[in-house]
Amino acid sequence: MDSLRALFALVLSALRKERHLPAILRRPRQVVRESTLCPEAQRDGQRGVALLTTLFAMVLITVMVMDFAATASHAERAAANQANSLRAYYLARSAVTIGMALLVQNARMAMASNAPQVDSFLSSWALPYPPLPIAGGWASVSIVDDARKIDINQLVGANGQVNPQYALIVGTLLDTVGAPLSLLPALIDWIDPDSVTTPGGAEADFYMQLMPPYAPRNGPMPTIGDLSMVRGVTPALFERLRNFITTAPTSQININTAPPQVLIAAAPQLAQTSGALQEIMQVRLTQPFTDPSQISQLSSVSNMASNLPSLFTVRSDYFTITGLGSFAGARTFVYATVRRNGIAPVLLLNWSED
């Protein structure tokens, strides 16, 4: 394209130097009377003008064609990218549907074997599945149970007052994962229904001064995305906390799937007793607990408080399914939070795309 523009400029320069061109295309110069030129000279000059004019037109047309071709090529690539993104999106949706089917299948298998529902890393929904090639692309699915996390909404009770037991659990979790404890009052103010600022917290007078301004929820968080809007939660801290915090209504923690940070937050004595946490982590990998009372039978846990099993469960009702679709370099994530409804189809609670 640059070489064509240079040729165009060269032709235009030559045309301007031609003394027989119209005045609009040449630099002002001394006028020569036609009567002083012989007929042969006049004909030669006219031929030169015709040749240069033709060359000028050809260069101009070439530049226009090349520019049109480049524009059409860009438009074609944009349309192809959009089509690939759409294909990737539907592959991700298909992966989420597969995840829903896995949860139902797991419940039906438990019913068929007359065994109690137990969710662990050995459950069919928790096993890692390789990407599945589909129609020139591929799709993958992963499922995480929300009972392995701490329900942040229980920080404030139904009466609008802070739940002191849960405030201790959340505070311990923040300290365990390296988050500032100053975040706790901000979380309380975001969830509680009043507009009274907790010492160290933040209410509407803080959030409405931000750009752009927004109001605090002053109620339960509907999705984990609310956490990113709370004062003091940076993007990096949000990505860290979302692995341990949920908004699903889970009152007990699944002892078979909860990470060590959550187990310590729920029962700090596990970290204070030598070998207790390690024994739980090792046993559940090969022989998942089928009843919370089995925790007390472990040698390192037997001397702990008798109410320890009441904090835990061995099953999960809420799950987050992540579907990933990829096609020709385009990638799309789809996230679905669902509630397992026995052997019936799962109930979709939340849907988001990225």
pLDDT of residue 49: 67
Percentage of the chain beyond pLDDT 90 is 60
In 10 A of CB 2, how many CB atoms?
6
For the chain, domain boundaries: 2-77
Confidence of residue 298 (pLDDT cuts 50, 70, 90): confident
Go through the chain and tell me how many residues it has.
354
In this structure, what token pair is assigned to residue 292? 């919370």
Q: Is the pLDDT of residue 10 over 80?
A: no
pLDDT of residue 53: 75
| pTM (predicted TM-score) | 0.76
Q: What whole-number distance in Å separates Cα of residue 274 and Cα of residue 301?
A: 9
Q: pLDDT tens across 132-179, in order?
A: 998 889 999 999 999 999 999 999 999 999 999 999 999 999 999 999
pLDDT of residue 134: 85
pLDDT of residue 99: 95
pLDDT of residue 20: 47
pLDDT of residue 163: 94
